[in-house]
């Protein structure tokens, strides 16, 4: 038994209907909603064949059918053939929205996931590149309040990382500026990934040269250095995590809580790409049971890469139900990844070298 044109038309109609309504689809619905030129009885027979072939299942005896992961895979593969070479005519406009007059890479990623979530209505995320190969240009401590300081780490190509620090005791602003100058002198030219090796010697040198009344610095330094060395860990930006609550598949609060807990864990999200079948694939789609992660067995994951000088440095993507609007999501993920690629390659050459 093979998929002829009529079976394909009926299968696509069932998938489209189920994506729209999340309800099992019967032959009468297909007959009324889609002009296929065949009777409901013929549609029923074809649906039985599709079920036997593994493309449909019947949840209850008296209900209609719903697509299987196999059906979605066929649907997606056929869709991807049509859109993979397409270009987004609004790419320049999309780039300007993502950049938003900001040179900060973090802001670009935050804007990207926000836009992606707004367009798709699903959970979106970016796995950001590790910064361990980035070279430190300058360190700046900015007083925010008596016991709060903003640590600015200015990296090569003007990438800025920010960390909020809590002080055990106040440090006068003039001393804060001198600390910034000292830290910049000691760390300028070092890679972020090297800080773990040199942080003890930097602390010792600053201790020797500290001002006599600047013991507060010695409370701050170890904490400050720990925060800086932690920046080389993988970073994940996400948006629309609670969008899943609007979907009927997640009316079960326990199931919804497990999903939210998973996507809020940056290490779990980062591992998704370690498990990818083809880590260098420009766009990858995992459907339901194809996902190796247990928490995503009822989800589809669509991700695209972004690269610098041809080298993969991260991924952006969407997680949603297997009943997701694949056409909209694939086009949107593809377009936003292309926009990020162009922004990064235009503005951040020189970063992330091995």
Quick one: average pLDDT of 134-158?
Answer: 81
Domain limits, CATH 3.30.390.60, in the chain: 136-232
Percent of the chain residues past pLDDT 90, beyond the cut: 31
Q: Most confidently modeled of 15-19, 30-34, 180-184?
A: 15-19
What's the predicted TM-score (pTM) here?
0.73
Least confident piece of the model among 32-46, 101-115, 202-216, 271-285: 202-216
Angle at 232 between CA 226 and CA 236, to 5 degrees: 115
Angle at 169 between CA 194 and CA 227, to 5 degrees: 20
Total Cβ atoms within 10 A of residue 96: 12
Q: In this predicted structure, what is the pLDDT of residue 120?
A: 94
Quick one: average pLDDT of 22-43?
Answer: 89
Structure-token pair, residue 116: 């992606």
Of residues 270 and 246, more confidence is placed in 246
The span from the CA of 86 to the CA of 89, in Å, is 9
If DSSP codes are grouped into helix, strand and coil, which group holds residue 216? helix
Q: In this predicted structure, what is the pLDDT of residue 60?
A: 78
Of residues 70 and 165, more confidence is placed in 70
Residue 205: phi and psi, rounded to 5, are: -65, -45
Cβ atoms of residues 134 and 192 within 8 Å: yes
Least confident piece of the model among 34-48, 86-100, 205-219: 205-219
Of residues 64 and 280, more confidence is placed in 64
The span from the CA of 13 to the CA of 36, in Å, is 9
Q: Which fold has domain 136-232?
A: Enolase-like; domain 1 (3.30.390)
- 3-state SS record for 246-262: HCHHHCCHHHHHHHHHH
Q: In this predicted structure, what is the pLDDT of residue 57?
A: 94
Contacts of 125 (CB under 8 A, 6+ apart): 113, 236, 237, 238, 239, 263, 269, 316, 317, 318, 319
Total Cβ atoms within 10 A of residue 305: 23
Of residues 71 and 233, more confidence is placed in 71
Q: In this predicted structure, what is the pLDDT of residue 98?
A: 86
Domain limits, CATH 1.10.10.10, in the chain: 5-67
Domain limits, CATH 3.30.450.40, in the chain: 87-130+234-347
Q: In this predicted structure, what is the pLDDT of residue 56?
A: 95
The span from the CA of 264 to the CA of 257, in Å, is 11
DSSP state, 350? T
What separation, in Å, do the N-terminal and C-terminal C-alpha atoms of the chain show? 52
What architecture does CATH give domain 87-130+234-347? 2-Layer Sandwich (3.30)
Structure-token pair, residue 119: 């367009």
Angstrom distances, CA of residue 200 to CA of 75, 178, 183, 191, 206: 57, 20, 13, 15, 10
Structure-token pair, residue 196: 């773990």
| Mean pLDDT, all residues of the chain | 82
Element of type H or E holding 305: strand 299-308
Is the Cα dihedral 55, 36, 75, 4 positive or negative? Answer: positive
- Band of the pLDDT at 351, cuts 50, 70, 90? very low
| Segment 274-325, tens digit of pLDDT | 555 555 567 899 999 998 888 888 899 999 988 776 777 788 999 999 999 9
Listed residue (198, 179, 193) closest to 139, CA to CA:
179
Does residue 242 carry a pLDDT above 60?
yes
Q: In this predicted structure, what is the pLDDT of residue 102?
A: 59
| Segment 190-207, tens digit of pLDDT | 887 777 777 777 777 766
DSSP state, 309? T
Which of these CATH numbers, 1.20.1440.230, 3.40.190.10, 3.40.50.300, 1.10.10.10, describes 5-67?
1.10.10.10
């Amino acid at each position: 038994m093979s998929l002829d044109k009529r079976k394909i038309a009926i299968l696509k109609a069932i998938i489209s209907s189920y994506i729209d309504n999340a309800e099992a689809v019967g032959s009468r619905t297909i007959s009324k909603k889609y002009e296929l030129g065949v009777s409901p009885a013929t549609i029923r027979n074809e649906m039985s064949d599709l079920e036997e072939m593994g493309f449909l299942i019947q949840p209850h005896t008296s209900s209609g059918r719903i697509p299987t992961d196999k059906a979605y895979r066929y649907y997606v593969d056929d869709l991807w053939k049509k859109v993979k070479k397409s270009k987004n005519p609004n790419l320049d406009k999309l780039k300007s929205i993502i950049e938003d007059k900001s040179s900060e890479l973090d802001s670009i990623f935050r804007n990207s996931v926000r836009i992606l979530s707004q367009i798709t209505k699903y959970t979106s995320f970016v796995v950001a590149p590790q910064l361990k190969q980035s070279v430190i240009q300058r360190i700046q401590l900015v007083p925010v309040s008596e016991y709060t300081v903003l640590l600015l780490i200015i990296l090569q190509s003007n990438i800025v990382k920010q960390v909020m620090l809590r002080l055990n005791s106040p440090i006068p602003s003039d001393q804060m500026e001198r600390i910034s100058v000292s830290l910049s002198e000691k760390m300028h030219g070092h890679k972020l990934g090297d800080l773990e090796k040199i942080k003890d010697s930097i602390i010792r040198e600053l201790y020797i040269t500290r001002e006599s009344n600047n013991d507060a610095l010695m409370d701050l330094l170890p904490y400050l250095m720990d925060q800086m060395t932690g920046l080389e860990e993988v970073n994940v930006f996400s948006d629309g995590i609670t969008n899943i609550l609007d979907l009927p598949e997640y009316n079960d609060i326990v199931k919804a809580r497990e999903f939210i807990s998973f996507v809020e864990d940056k290490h779990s999200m980062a591992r998704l790409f370690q498990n990818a079948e083809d880590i260098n694939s420009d766009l990858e789609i995992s459907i339901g049971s194809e996902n190796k992660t247990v928490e995503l067995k009822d989800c589809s994951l669509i991700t695209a890469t972004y690269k610098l000088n041809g080298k993969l440095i991260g991924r952006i993507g969407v997680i949603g139900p297997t009943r997701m609007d694949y056409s909209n999501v694939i086009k949107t993920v593809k377009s936003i990844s292309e926009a990020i690629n162009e922004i990064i390659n235009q503005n951040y050459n020189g970063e992330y070298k091995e």
